[in-house]
Structure 1
Amino acid sequence: MPSGVVVPAEVPARSARKASASGEKARCPAYPELVEFTQDEGYAGPLAGVRVVEFAGIGPGPFAGLVLADLGAEVIGVDRPGGTGPFDVPVLRRGRRSIALDLKSDLGREAALDLAASADLLIEPYRPGVMERLGLGPDECLARNPRLTYGRMTGWGQHGPMAPYAGHDLTYTALSGLLSTVVRDARDGSSPRPVLPGPYLGDVAGGALLLVIGLLAALHEATQTGHGQVIDAAIADGASYLSTFTHALDRAGLWGQRPGNNVLDTGAPFYEVYECADGRHLAVGPLEPHFYAELLRLLDLDLPETDPRHPRHQFDQSRWPEAKLLWEKLFKTRTRDEWSALLEQTDACVAPVLGFDEARHHPHFVARTAYRSVGGEELPVPAPRFGDAGEQPRPVDPVSAPVAPGTDSDAILTELGWSIAKIAAAREQRAVSG
């Protein structure tokens, strides 16, 4: 039977989903089939009771599974026999159970269909047509489980001239136009060159996070209608959608100049990263005039009106190059930490540019318990935070460390109703491993 969530007549308060003071297992009144976590185990997360089947991939698919696991969903990874490949990132596989299946074998395919029949959400990361050729496409899976939300994570989408071809974050953001907005102007007058921002714009924001939003929206609809659907999540589409904000800035007059010369793309001297005396960097971003005035006050700068940094010239783009040179000269007179001591925890909108190791130990993140140990590694806690009215919201408790592919194969098949003899036969045929 699918584990689809049934909409309750009354949604219980979050506290009702916590354990009793005695530490005994509690059951949620609205979802009596769900065993709750004990008080020591903490808050299971808002997606507790939702089952996700995630077929192995790289990049956005695993990150989407990670987010769902961090929010409390049970995520079962369908891994490849014999390993995860050279681009596997173990930390993205935390919080999952794992079954290793040969999807080209009859018993491997049967196991995958049984998993789909038990799931609320499914994530597959392959090129268009691959799952259909395996007999695991939307038609087959939704025939077994009409409530299933079938999420398809690709670079170019399920149709279109580019759909059959390979790509990566770089090419998806390039074609969408989004990469053209991430530039730094060349002072020698040459053409601005895009700065590669890592996989955050395409794979993470335009891919994984929009897939998660789509999956949860479709899950919500399925709880009302009883019918699942197919999600076509293309990174190129997502990257294009993210540029909606840039289009809005353009219409507001904050974009549209030569790349690298706009307010928010390092053109403005008051929204820039500056090098300090020790070679480290400071992010300076007092956009609003009253925040800019606060920066000048803290720096004890009583500027004449002829100075390009004077408040009356803040948005005069003709004065920006000269002002930026003066700011560069000023910020090189002290170290990053000296500037931070003066300007942090003020309304000047200034922060040091920290590495990950430094960020973990910054007082703000320490106070918010923003990092915890997972599998011996210090990692960011899940976001956002949840809490009842009147209490301090806190992160969902960290999920389990990554496991090797196939670690839970036998246990998962047993839960699906497979006999010991059938599991042994599947192993003999190498349809199942781990």
Structure 2
Amino acid sequence: MVIRRCSEATYFRYGFHLDARDIYLGSCGRLARAPVRVRLSDRESQAVKERTDSQVCSNYSPAKAPLIAWDTITWKLGCTMTGSAPPLQGIRVVELAGLAPGPFAGLMLSDYGASVVRIDRPHPNAHSQSKPVPPPTFDALTRHKRSISLDLKNPASKAVLLSLLSKADVLIDPYRPGILEKLGLCPTTVLLKHNPRLIIARMTGFRRDGKYKGMAGHDINYIAVSGALSLLGREGQKPYAPGNILGDFAGGGAVCFQGILLALLARQTTGRGQVVNANMVDGSAYLATFPRLARQTPMWDGPRGSNVLDGGCPYYDTYETKDKGRYFAVGALEPQFYSALLDRLGLREEEVFPLGSSMDRQDKENWPYMRAVFARKFRERTRSEWEAIFDGTDACATPVLTMDELEEAGYDQRPVVGLSDTPGLDIRPDDGGWSGGGIHPGSGGEETLKDWLGWQAGRDYEVHNGGLVKVKVVARTKL
């Protein structure tokens, strides 16, 4: 199918715009010579025919124009093409470089169109023009971001930061309590007076007013004192470290992102910015609201690892298949799903219970026997064989796929939610989807200083090795 003409109305609905020479594919940001061939499903093709005044023809030869695969266009799974901007376009964010939670909050903002500039610390070689440029930062959460390298202990560098903050909507502070204050950048007495509309998102591990506020820590420590870690692990065994997803990212960066959005929404009414205090103890504790309250019910009233949803239940667990090291996940809680599970496993209900038992799957006395039956059954076939059996059913049984398998299969990573009219930006496989990430200090900084402040390199400031910005005297008068 070739779209040769497209009206302005079509552009705003589907993201197509055509002048005499080019066709622009909306939010994808790709420009190509017309005519452009796109691969449409029958449903999508019919939608274009019915809802646009395009002149469509099918007698297309790939030799006449470049081919753009439809897979690269964000229509699939309900994310329709649109000419609308991402929802956070126009929002300016200054992210002080830190570890996982702060950069993740900045990443979520940038994925939805915010302009995020990261303030990196200067490299030891930054003042030397003869030594090589430093490598990209270790942080991989830099998709769609720019960087400026500033020494915030230097008054001139601090003045650059304040200039940026005068134009910014959001500041992400990942530092331990008191660091901004020591730098002379107290949120209430300095920053909000400097820019009353600024939203200052402060991300800490422990509570700022709690017992551990002055201590160092990492994800495992924060979820330990929040109670969340106590829920994770097998019965009779120690709590296990679940990877730094629950504290750093779910209870940290994602919660901070939510707080920023709430503050932006409130600013529309009040006209004022505010301080957003987020911490990973409260964040992970909030995420554990359901299991905390479920302890009062039979679903979760037992010790760790002995309950329905924490690995104690045999029909809510993982099982190794015939090909060692591969697993299947089972979550057949409801009766109809449990029946479908038994049917696909080829088991009669009486085979699952020990002789003389109550034949009640909710009776925990039966769980060890049931688990052994399921384990033996899953070891009879390979994971791919079980996939063929369970695919398309309501048995709530799925393969446990590894990251390597997903990458090899070309699984496409997407922003956390799909918005029908104002979608987020694409996540390319080589730009934080499966690889990439990391940013050279100073990368894109010159564009930011020009876009935000109208500054030009050489006239208003100098850039040293590693992206370190040094303001000239003439520019300081503007601060």
Range class of TM-score, shorter chain: 0.7 to 0.9
Partner of 1:146: 196
SS in structure 1 at match of 2:220: helix
Partner of 1:238: 283
Q: Which amino acid aligns with 1:412?
A: T
Larger radius of gyration: 2
Partner of 1:68: 109
The answer on 1:334 being equivalent to 2:334 is no
User: Closer, same or farther in 2 for the Cα pair 1:356/1:306, shift >3 Å?
Assistant: closer
Partner of 2:30: 40
The answer on 1:222 being equivalent to 2:284 is no
SS in structure 2 at match of 1:92: coil
| Matches of 2:312 and 2:135, distance apart in 1 | 39
Partner of 1:386: 419
SS in structure 2 at match of 1:143: helix
* TM-fit CA distance, 1:87: 11
Partner of 1:286: 332
The answer on 1:130 being equivalent to 2:179 is yes
Q: Is the 2:353–2:369 Cα contact (8 Å) retained in structure 1?
A: no
| Matches of 1:417 and 1:313, distance apart in 2 | 72
The answer on 1:432 being equivalent to 2:469 is yes
- Deviation per CA, 1:89-137: give whole Å up to 9, x if none: 4431111011110001011101111111111111010011111111222
* TM-fit CA distance, 1:23: 6.5
* TM-fit CA distance, 1:38: 7.9
| Matches of 1:67 and 1:222, distance apart in 2 | 20
Structure 2 stretches of 5 or more lacking a match?
Answer: 1-8, 21-25, 32-80, 127-133, 432-436, 471-479
* TM-fit CA distance, 1:149: 0.8
SS in structure 2 at match of 1:77: strand
SS in structure 1 at match of 2:202: strand
Partner of 1:323: 370
User: Closer, same or farther in 2 for the Cα pair 1:286/1:356, shift >3 Å?
Assistant: same
| Matches of 1:157 and 1:15, distance apart in 2 | 48
SS in structure 1 at match of 2:86: coil
Partner of 1:55: 96
| Matches of 2:439 and 2:279, distance apart in 1 | 28
| Matches of 2:10 and 2:179, distance apart in 1 | 41
The answer on 1:414 being equivalent to 2:450 is yes
Query: 2:214 aligned to 161, 164, 174, which one?
Result: 164
- Deviation per CA, 1:222-258: give whole Å up to 9, x if none: 1121111101111111111111011232233211201
The answer on 1:295 being equivalent to 2:341 is yes
- Deviation per CA, 1:158-213: give whole Å up to 9, x if none: 2222112110000001111100111112xxxxx42112110111001110010000
* TM-fit CA distance, 1:323: 1.0
SS in structure 1 at match of 2:30: coil
Q: Which amino acid aligns with 2:217?
A: G
Partner of 1:423: 461
| Matches of 2:89 and 2:192, distance apart in 1 | 23
- Deviation per CA, 1:47-97: give whole Å up to 9, x if none: 111111100001111111111111111111111111899995443111101
SS in structure 1 at match of 2:90: coil
* TM-fit CA distance, 1:21: 1.5
Q: Is the 2:27–2:425 Cα contact (8 Å) retained in structure 1?
A: no
Query: 1:396 aligned to 425, 435, 443, which one?
Result: 425
User: Closer, same or farther in 2 for the Cα pair 1:395/1:37, shift >3 Å?
Assistant: closer
Partner of 1:10: none
Query: 2:247 aligned to 179, 185, 202, which one?
Result: 202
Deviates more, 1:140-149 or 1:170-179: 140-149
User: Closer, same or farther in 2 for the Cα pair 1:395/1:96, shift >3 Å?
Assistant: closer
Q: Is the 2:119–2:147 Cα contact (8 Å) retained in structure 1?
A: yes
Q: Is the 2:314–2:367 Cα contact (8 Å) retained in structure 1?
A: yes
Q: Is the 1:58–1:87 Cα contact (8 Å) retained in structure 2?
A: no
| Matches of 1:255 and 1:395, distance apart in 2 | 38
User: Closer, same or farther in 2 for the Cα pair 1:231/1:184, shift >3 Å?
Assistant: same
User: Closer, same or farther in 2 for the Cα pair 1:427/1:327, shift >3 Å?
Assistant: closer
Q: Percent identity?
A: 40
Q: Is the 1:177–1:240 Cα contact (8 Å) retained in structure 2?
A: yes
Q: Which amino acid aligns with 1:58?
A: L
User: Closer, same or farther in 2 for the Cα pair 1:23/1:183, shift >3 Å?
Assistant: farther
* TM-fit CA distance, 1:16: 4.6
- Deviation per CA, 1:286-333: give whole Å up to 9, x if none: 011110011112223223288259995211111101111111111111
| Matches of 1:395 and 1:159, distance apart in 2 | 36
| Matches of 2:351 and 2:162, distance apart in 1 | 72
The answer on 1:263 being equivalent to 2:259 is no
User: Closer, same or farther in 2 for the Cα pair 1:354/1:238, shift >3 Å?
Assistant: same
SS in structure 2 at match of 1:93: coil
Q: Which amino acid aligns with 2:157?
A: G
Q: Which amino acid aligns with 2:397?
A: V
Q: Is the 1:178–1:239 Cα contact (8 Å) retained in structure 2?
A: yes
Q: Is the 2:136–2:440 Cα contact (8 Å) retained in structure 1?
A: no
Q: Is the 1:410–1:423 Cα contact (8 Å) retained in structure 2?
A: no
SS in structure 1 at match of 2:380: coil
Q: Is the 1:107–1:431 Cα contact (8 Å) retained in structure 2?
A: no
User: Closer, same or farther in 2 for the Cα pair 1:17/1:197, shift >3 Å?
Assistant: farther
User: Closer, same or farther in 2 for the Cα pair 1:39/1:203, shift >3 Å?
Assistant: closer
SS in structure 1 at match of 2:244: helix
Structure 1 stretches of 5 or more lacking a match?
Answer: 1-12, 25-35, 186-190, 372-379
* TM-fit CA distance, 1:39: 6.2
Query: 1:184 aligned to 225, 229, 234, which one?
Result: 234
| Matches of 2:96 and 2:167, distance apart in 1 | 15
| Matches of 2:440 and 2:351, distance apart in 1 | 65
| Matches of 1:118 and 1:412, distance apart in 2 | 11
